A = this chain, B = another copy of it.
Amino acid sequence: MRNQYEQQLHRVLSELVDMTGCVREALNHATRALLEADASAAELVISGDLSIDDARTRIEEESYEILARQAPVAGDLRTLLASLRMVADLERMGDLSVHIAKVARLRYPIRAVPEVMVPTVKSMAETADEMIASAAEILATQDIRAAALLEEADDAMDDLRRSMFRILLSDEWGWGVEPAVDVALLGRYYERIGDHAVSMGRRIIFLVTGQHPVTV
């Protein structure tokens, strides 16, 4: 019985790692849709979100079953509760990728991001992608050294958001209100994806070390 229980718990964690991979793929398709005005990539993200939602439901139900049948305590209980949080983070990152894809679709065949802003948005997308990858690594290996990378990437994301606003409000910006609003919201979506990756990383660090790095 104990053995089956450990298998179940292990399965939940490995499904979370798989889900992280799906979310990372969704984000990368969304970024391609956005920066290359690729409508089919946008559709892929929008229609693919259902499978991310399904993964969430499945992992939640499995966690619920373990809680109801096995009544885990201490570390296992904390792990399951953290998994429920992380699955919500991942589902939300999927939704944010859909928002990015929808901006791309709305402006197609025009690229929603004006030339002057492409390098900044590209860097934000790469940073968000790295952050998901770090969260997945911490999740899979429980090696909390990757956590330092996650915090560095989070600082880089803040810098990019600031430089995005500098460009939007400078004389360089000759594209008017509509692309400015698009870009500001896109920046927010990438930033929030990064925030969710940071939350995931911090939850695992808390599980491994028992110490909250900072409020998650």
Contacts and interface: CB of A to CB of B under 8 A. Distances in A.
Could you say which of A78, A177, A185 has the most chain B C-beta atoms within 10 Å of its C-beta? A177
Measured as residues with beta carbon below 8 angstroms from the partner, the interface class of chain A is 20 to 34
A85 B177 CA distance: 37
A35 interface: no
A193 to B, nearest CB: 14
Contact of A185 (B64, B85, B173, B184): B184
Given A67-B81, A168-B181, A181-B181, 12 more contacts: A64-B77, A67-B67, A68-B74, A68-B77, A71-B71, A71-B73, A84-B85, A88-B88, A168-B178, A169-B178, A177-B177, A181-B184
Contact residues of A: prevailing secondary structure:
helix
Interface string A168-206: 110001001110110011001000000000000000000
A88 B92 CA distance: 13
Interface in A60-87: 64, 67-68, 71, 73-74, 77-78, 81, 84-85
Contact of A177 (B78, B169, B188): B169
Given A84-B81, A215-B53, A177 B185 contact: no
A160 to B, nearest CB: 16
Taking the full assembly, how many copies of this chain does it contain?
2
Nearest to A182: B184
Nearest to A74: B68
Contacts of A188: 185, 188
A171 to B, nearest CB: 11
14 contacts: A53-B215, A67-B67, A68-B74, A84-B84, A165-B181, A168-B181, A169-B177, A169-B181, A173-B177, A176-B177, A180-B180, A181-B184, A184-B184, A185-B185
Could you say which of A169, A178, A181, A188 has the most chain B C-beta atoms within 10 Å of its C-beta? A181
A183 to B, nearest CB: 8
